[in-house]
Amino acid sequence: MIKFLSPALRVTAVTFVLCGLAYPFAITGIGQLLFPAQANGSLVQSPEGQVIGSALIGQQWDAPQWFHGRPSATTDTDPKDPLKTVPSPYNAASSSGSNLGPTSQALSDRLTADRHALEQAQPELAGQPLPADMLTTSASGLDPDISPANATLQASRVAQQRGVALDKVLALVQANTQAPSLGVFGESRANVLALNLALQRDYPVHQ
């Protein structure tokens, strides 16, 4: 039995060292050396050097002077009842979609309410077709980006709230729009955190 056990233990030890220690340390080191920002979470800092978010995780923006991200359906544990959940937008510890189908009354009610709130804030959008990401949630609930079409429709509200000419805000949207990766992967997109930081830098308002 020792004849068979000894080689098995040696293989296990070598595999553990290579796959459990050497490989993770090597990849971590390479990541820190070549891609330090990405390896540490793509963190975004304010001009004062304070970490204010990640370029990879969306945040909740409610005030009308900001561009708003895609709706999020993530949840968290209800503090009053651990067996239940409550809405918690952009909860990175609970990435998920709503899992509500097209026949769901809850989904229909939520879309109707959000559409009404949007049209209250921007009456010019009443009855207009909207980009899908303006009202629907994603599978992850953490999208940090919005479509250029979404950002363009929000630009008039942002410009009015900040007292800035619309063409200047539209130019800012265009400057902060990223093309598909390598020209073919994904779609054009605007990172909401980066866009709002550029907005506050160029056309600041008191928060």
**168 and 87 in one domain?**
yes
DSSP 65-92: TS--------EEEETTEEEEEEE-TT-G
Residue range 124-171, pLDDT digits in tens: 999 899 999 999 999 899 999 999 999 999 999 999 999 999 999 999
**171 and 84 in one domain?**
yes
How far is residue 79's CA from residue 166's CA, in Å, rounded to a whole number? 43
- Which pair of structure tokens corresponds to residue 115? 């559409």
Q: Determine the pLDDT at residue 185.
A: 86
Q: Are 96 and 106 in contact (CB under 8 A)?
A: no
How far is residue 61's CA from residue 105's CA, in Å, rounded to a whole number? 26
Q: Determine the pLDDT at residue 159.
A: 96
Residue range 76-130, pLDDT digits in tens: 998 889 888 888 999 988 888 888 888 999 999 999 999 999 999 999 999 899 9
- Taking the chain, what is the end-to-end CA distance rounded to the nearest angstrom? 73
**96 and 178 in one domain?**
yes
**161 and 59 in one domain?**
yes
**159 and 73 in one domain?**
yes
**76 and 163 in one domain?**
yes
In terms of Cα–Cα distance, which of 51, 87, 68 is closest to 196? Answer: 68
pTM (predicted TM-score): 0.82
**106 and 89 in one domain?**
yes
Domain housing 122: 41-202
**177 and 135 in one domain?**
yes
